[in-house]
Structure 1
């Protein structure tokens, strides 16, 4: 069984960088089975809490294990990941294999959305293609393309408990109703403009109102608090949870706490010394944030939970 098999680790970090602990045929099997499950589920997921929500991982496999240690491994907890599993970190394939294994084993309790890096024209330039070619050598390009098909089948948004809209990037001027997302066909490439592009690429901006071109990314839009409020009113939702941007403390809020940005790759690329965060939603729809304190990374786990409903903080061990 692919999920249960454990192989001896590489003899050094350098060896681990150049090899994959899972055989090529096993990775292909994971991709095929995961793709089949993804296409059996809708483009807009409708999920029931309790649920943990995680942001960008970016190939940081050991930190992904730390996330699960803090938030509990499946099936003790249900999960929704918001995308950007690959690129920049050195272990994107290992990250994907673990997430796919959980998706296969717990298809109705473990969910993955698409990020802007789950797109071959993007991850060709930011490390994932090179990683595939390094670890699978002559079959690396074929493996990269196989992953590309899987990425084209990922759902792009979710609604949790009928009140929380979850997406990788943000909103779109083309997003009039949630049915607009439901009607997007799959498999589909991420286009350079339009609804799907905006959902994985756009960013909120506290300093503007309305829509502005996203100059920093040279694609999609920035949007203000007024856009957030109008979208939530129009769809009868209460909160947007999104990822896509590094935030130093692991999370940030905007628009009278109507939008939350989370980032789940601690000490991103080994240089930013940032915390990571997990959003938790319980059966009562109470929303909390677990902070993974990067300064305590090699010591006792430190979890800082901010409960937005009662404006208090507590430390747990």
Structure 2
């Protein structure tokens, strides 16, 4: 089983300037990008230049079409490079691509937590989405516990969107898109991968497939009734492995801890 871990990363010293955002068309329907547009977006984003608002809106619309067709348990083929938390560290992401290879040459599985804490969450998410739309079979992007409306209002992504676009529109469109990200992946039908960990309410992969993921991630303080419906989704994104055996209450207030004996089951 893969889970993302909680590793840190170096923080960039300053933000780069971005192009002035444009307005989405009056019809409310952004133009969907073609291959030439996507290649241009990728080239710009690789230089840490954020997209204009209308460009990002079209990219998000196309990404949503792709993601909503993906299962809660996304099949992934080997060879694959598995990547944990990025947290807005764009230059770390670029270094990883430099060492491991750029899509589509390398097949990637990202385990979530693309935003918050770092200075370049917008650029990180935009680049991953551009690669996902351009090469949908060569990159898998799962949801982490920070791909959440509540969490991003506390840990920096919301403020970054306001600072770079002078509007909350970009934050809203991206957090709405996060609802469509798959929850888990299954590598070669043998390695079960997710951002967080296991759940005492999930016994089979079919249990995961039956979760309605298109919603905000439930966090702490939910009633027993609400947990029965939404808790398993929370656990997949919040639970952590632990040196102690069995199930435990997570000190983070959401999800559970679980021992190696639970993983072995």
> What pairs with 1:230-249 in structure 2 (closer than 5 Å)?
230=265
Q: Is the 8 A contact 2:202 2:232 kept in 1?
A: yes
Q: Is the 8 A contact 1:2 1:26 kept in 2?
A: no
1:21 Cα deviation from its structure 2 partner: 2.9
> What pairs with 1:12-161 in structure 2 (closer than 5 Å)?
21-137=50-166, 139=167, 141-161=168-188
Q: 1:211 aligns with which of 243, 247, 250?
A: 247
Q: Is the 8 A contact 1:43 1:184 kept in 2?
A: yes
Encode CA deviations 1:26-50: one digit per residue, 9 max, x unaligned.
Answer: 1111111111100011111011111
1:200 aligns to 2:234 (yes or no): no
Corresponding residue for residue 257 of structure 1: none
Moved more, 20-29 or 59-68: 20-29
Corresponding residue for residue 10 of structure 2: none
Gaps of 5+ in 1: 11-15, 231-317
1:8 Cα deviation from its structure 2 partner: 11
Encode CA deviations 1:44-70: one digit per residue, 9 max, x unaligned.
Answer: 101111111100000000110100111
Partner-residue secondary structure (3-state), 1:3? helix
1:104 Cα deviation from its structure 2 partner: 0.3
Distance 1:3 1:89 in 2: 25
Partner-residue secondary structure (3-state), 1:166? strand
Distance 2:195 2:213 in 1: 17
Partner-residue secondary structure (3-state), 2:39? coil
Write out the 4+ residue segments of structure 1 that deviate beyond 3 Å after TM superposition: 5-10
More strand by share: 1
Q: Is the 8 A contact 2:45 2:126 kept in 1?
A: no
Gaps of 5+ in 2: 1-36, 220-226
Distance 1:26 1:199 in 2: 32
1:184 Cα deviation from its structure 2 partner: 1.5
Partner-residue secondary structure (3-state), 2:68? helix
Q: Is the 8 A contact 1:39 1:186 kept in 2?
A: no
Encode CA deviations 1:213-240: one digit per residue, 9 max, x unaligned.
Answer: 111x12221111111111xxxxxxxxxx
Encode CA deviations 1:83-129: one digit per residue, 9 max, x unaligned.
Answer: 00000000000001110010001111111000000011011100000
More helix by share: 2
Distance 1:220 1:61 in 2: 28
1:2 Cα deviation from its structure 2 partner: 4.0
Partner-residue secondary structure (3-state), 1:67? helix
1:222 aligns to 2:251 (yes or no): no
Distance 2:240 2:109 in 1: 20
1:181 aligns to 2:181 (yes or no): no
1:185 Cα deviation from its structure 2 partner: 2.2
